[in-house]
Amino acid sequence: MSDKTELPARGVAVIEAALATMPLSPGVYRMLDARGDALYVGKARALKKRVTSYTQLGRLPERLRRMVSETVSMEIVTTHTEAEALLLEANFIKRLKPRFNIVLRDDKSYPWLLLTEDHEFPQITKHRGARGRKGSYYGPFASAWAVNQTVTAMQRVFLLRSCADTVFANRSRPCLLHQIKRCSAPCVGLVSGEAYAALVAQARGFLSGRGAAVQQGLAAEMEQAAEALEFERAAALRDRIRGLTHVQGSGVVNPESIADADVIAAWQGAGQTCVQVFFIRAGRNNGNRAFFPTHTRAEEAPEVLAAFIAQFYDDKPPPPLVLVSHDLPEQDLIAEALSLKAQSFGTGRRVEVAAPKRGEKHAVMQHAETNAREAMERRLAESAGQAKLLAGTAELFGLPAPPERIEVYDNSHIMGSNPYGVMVVAGAEGFVKAAYRKFAIRGPIAPGDDFAMMREVLTRRFGRAMKENADAAGPPPGWPDLVLIDGGAGQLSAARTVLAELGAHDVRLVGIAKGPDRDAGREWFYMDGRLAFQLPPRDPVLYFLQRLRDEAHRFAITTHRAGRSKALVTSELDEVAGIGPARKRALLNHFGSARGVKQAGLTDLEAAPGVSKSLARLVYGHFHPGARMEGAG
């Protein structure tokens, strides 16, 4: 039997062995390769029936035959319903990123608008991350810009404060926001608690979709003020009404017939798909964002859209209505799964998934499709330019083909302190930030020894890859076609020695160094078998390589600064057993510094807020070993 038929046969044997104990219940299955990584994640109403289809190689497309040939083991998780299986499948795909699935690569959190409820005068502000603070959250918004625009509009209309509580507590006179009529200045008592609470109530009503009622109330107040000859107050209310009218402006961007919905449109071109998402909440457009899920060229828009939706709502609550540009396979099942997801977030509402064919909703969808098409056209234009640069790079450095993965390495430290090495990655789609890596230098290394730092970084990166792939044929996954080292002949020699010792002989190494005058554009390039050389100052490939080197330099400096900042906030208190962050903060807040804690007597420690007698004795004993615990030191 030839290798070509032997490998798929092995995969079929693995699947058939798993089928022997596989139930007919709903669930999720995972196909794993020799490294234990997920090749594919799928869901099924009846696991055994679905997985059996993979044993019929003649009916499978080439892509799935290749997947079966790489399968060495299978894992399953059963669920109560197919909708639960769909949610679990999306979670696995998003977390494991299997090679043979449609994968949404979206690792960004979405900003929300927060109206706090833990202060007498609530604050309106932007919020990301866990909802740890008590308050009402509105969103999500597509970007920080979108939520900032809304915060600004809310300040103009409702005059709510946006400052932090610490700033609020220390104001002695109104800030600039009050001067430009964007805050009612509760910090200095220019608005009563009752009046400010009324403003907050109006803001809540507006954010909850009752903008028309809020506007009618403001209009009635304006008429009353005018009748009472309070013209200044009437003018202020008029300005607020105008601002509210502007915010509520309707049209395709702010549709009247849609209260809470996400509009999701797909557009395909050149084997890629752009998915455009518009967030509409309380009848307002909270912005839009374009996504480019990874998939094979054979995947049609409805399949891509269905996979996208399941993964997109894995970590966020879906709205009651999801409008899509195509009728989806298993559309009712997706709606059922999203309803379960909404219940898990405490909303307890059913979710409808619909593809509008007419009316205002259809017009909104057409607008979203136009945005998806334009985003796709921009991406294809950028990819074409990137392809030319990669082809030029291959020609410059004698590569057999345009590089699919370029790794760039740099170090950063100050006089040898807080040393870090970094790796940035670039490819056909530009910088691959998910593949960036940081290396805290472990040493022992002499301060400022850049060559030793580079040796350690490359040893850890390539040594681990070689070790994990020791039993497999061919290069490890994620193997670079080109490695750029920030430095000259010395750095290149150190890198070459490391790779030779590891047996990694098929990596093209290039050093890139600024000349003696340190001017950008006069870089020297170093590589084996060739004298150091420069490129013409306006060469596009030179600009491309400079951009790669500068990104590595930026990432190295950012990493070093973060590490240095972390080191600065450590103190001698970290060495005291049993002292956690909260207790450390309480001691530092009371005594001002670690030195103040160290010099405090036992009585002083016991009197500190949040410090028990046992903790005080523990801290005092750490800094005064052998001292008697009878009163103050």
One-letter amino acid for residue 358 of the chain: R
For residue 322, is pLDDT > 90?
yes
559 with 414, same domain: the answer is yes
Q: What is the pLDDT of residue 417?
A: 64
The secondary structure of residue 188, as a DSSP letter, is G
Residue 53 counted as domain residue:
yes
For residue 253, is pLDDT > 60?
no
Least confident range of 311-325, 426-440, 571-585, 601-615: 571-585
Domain-terminating residue out of 540, 566, 592 = 566
228 with 360, same domain: the answer is no
For residue 347, is pLDDT > 60?
yes
208 with 68, same domain: the answer is no
Residue 253 counted as domain residue:
no
| Segment (H or E) for 564 | helix 540-568
Q: Report yes or no: 105 and 88 within 8 Å, Cβ to Cβ.
A: no
> Residue range 173-190: average pLDDT?
90
Q: Report yes or no: 548 and 554 within 8 Å, Cβ to Cβ.
A: no
Residue 383 counted as domain residue:
no
Q: In which band, very low, low, confident or very high, does the pLDDT at 551 lie, cut at 50, 70 and 90? A: very high
Q: Which residues pair with 129 in a beta bridge?
A: none
- pLDDT > 90: percent of the chain: 43
146 with 202, same domain: the answer is yes
Q: Which residues pair with 137 in a beta bridge?
A: 114
Q: What is the pLDDT of residue 146?
A: 83
Instruction: Enumerate residues 6+ apart whose C-beta is below 8 A from 251.
Output: none
DSSP-assigned states of every residue in 204-257: HHHHTT-HHHHHHHHHHHHHHHHHTT-HHHHHHHHHHHHHHHHHT--SSSS-SS
Q: What is the pLDDT of residue 405?
A: 95
DSSP-assigned states of every residue in 498-510: HHHHHT--S-EEE
Residue 45 counted as domain residue:
yes
Q: Which CATH number does the domain housing residue 480 bear?
A: 3.30.420.340
Residue 103 counted as domain residue:
no
DSSP H helix total and E strand total for the chain? 20, 19
Q: Which of 101-115, 404-418, 530-544 has the highest mean pLDDT?
A: 530-544
In 3D space, the residue among 200, 100, 98 whose CA is nearest the CA of residue 157 turns out to be 200
287 with 328, same domain: the answer is yes
CA distances from 458 to 150, 192, 462, 550 (A): 47, 64, 6, 19
> Residue range 575-585: average pLDDT?
72
Buried b (16+ CB within 10 A) or exposed e, 207-241: beeebeebbeebeebbeebeeeeeeeebeebeebb
The interaxial angle of helices 144-158 and 193-207, nearest 10 deg, is 130
Residue 213 counted as domain residue:
yes
325 with 464, same domain: the answer is no
CA distances from 402 to 186, 392, 484, 541 (A): 62, 8, 15, 13
Torsion of CA 342, 346, 350, 356, to 10 degrees: -50
> Residue range 312-322: average pLDDT?
92
559 with 411, same domain: the answer is yes
Q: Which CATH number does the domain housing residue 576 bear?
A: 1.10.150.20
Q: In which band, very low, low, confident or very high, does the pLDDT at 397 lie, cut at 50, 70 and 90? A: very high
Q: What is the pLDDT of residue 290?
A: 92
Q: What is the pLDDT of residue 416?
A: 54
39 with 144, same domain: the answer is no
Q: Which CATH number does the domain housing residue 21 bear?
A: 3.40.1440.10
Mean pLDDT of all residues belonging to the chain:
85
Q: What is the pLDDT of residue 420?
A: 86
For residue 400, is pLDDT > 50?
yes
Least confident range of 57-71, 305-319, 413-427: 413-427
Reported as a single tens digit per residue, the pLDDT across 102-122 is 998 776 778 889 999 999 999
Residue 484 counted as domain residue:
yes
561 with 582, same domain: the answer is no
453 with 553, same domain: the answer is yes
What's the domain count of the chain? Answer: 5
Compute φ and ψ for 495, nearest 5 degrees.
-65, -40
The secondary structure of residue 5, as a DSSP letter, is H
Q: What is the pLDDT of residue 633?
A: 39
Compute φ and ψ for 73, nearest 5 degrees.
-160, 165
Q: What is the pLDDT of residue 565?
A: 58
Q: Where are the beta strands (DSSP E) in 68-220?
A: 73-78, 112-116, 124-127, 135-138
The interaxial angle of helices 62-70 and 3-19, nearest 10 deg, is 70
Q: Which residue range(s) make up the domain with 89?
A: 3-96
Least confident range of 274-288, 304-318, 528-542, 611-625: 611-625
Q: What is the pLDDT of residue 183?
A: 92
475 with 603, same domain: the answer is no
Q: Report yes or no: 402 and 387 within 8 Å, Cβ to Cβ.
A: yes
Compute φ and ψ for 232, nearest 5 degrees.
-65, -45
> Residue range 280-303: average pLDDT?
89
| pTM attached to this predicted model | 0.70
Q: What is the pLDDT of residue 25?
A: 94
Q: What is the pLDDT of residue 521?
A: 61
Residue 392 counted as domain residue:
no
Q: In which band, very low, low, confident or very high, does the pLDDT at 256 lie, cut at 50, 70 and 90? A: low
30 with 153, same domain: the answer is no
Q: What is the pLDDT of residue 6?
A: 65
> Residue range 383-398: average pLDDT?
91
Q: In which band, very low, low, confident or very high, does the pLDDT at 629 lie, cut at 50, 70 and 90? A: low
Q: What is the pLDDT of residue 110?
A: 86
- pLDDT > 70: percent of the chain: 89
Instruction: Enumerate residues 6+ apart whose C-beta is below 8 A from 102.
Output: 93, 293, 294, 295, 299, 303, 304, 307, 308
Domain-terminating residue out of 183, 217, 247 = 247
Q: Report yes or no: 276 and 368 within 8 Å, Cβ to Cβ.
A: yes
Q: What is the pLDDT of residue 69?
A: 92
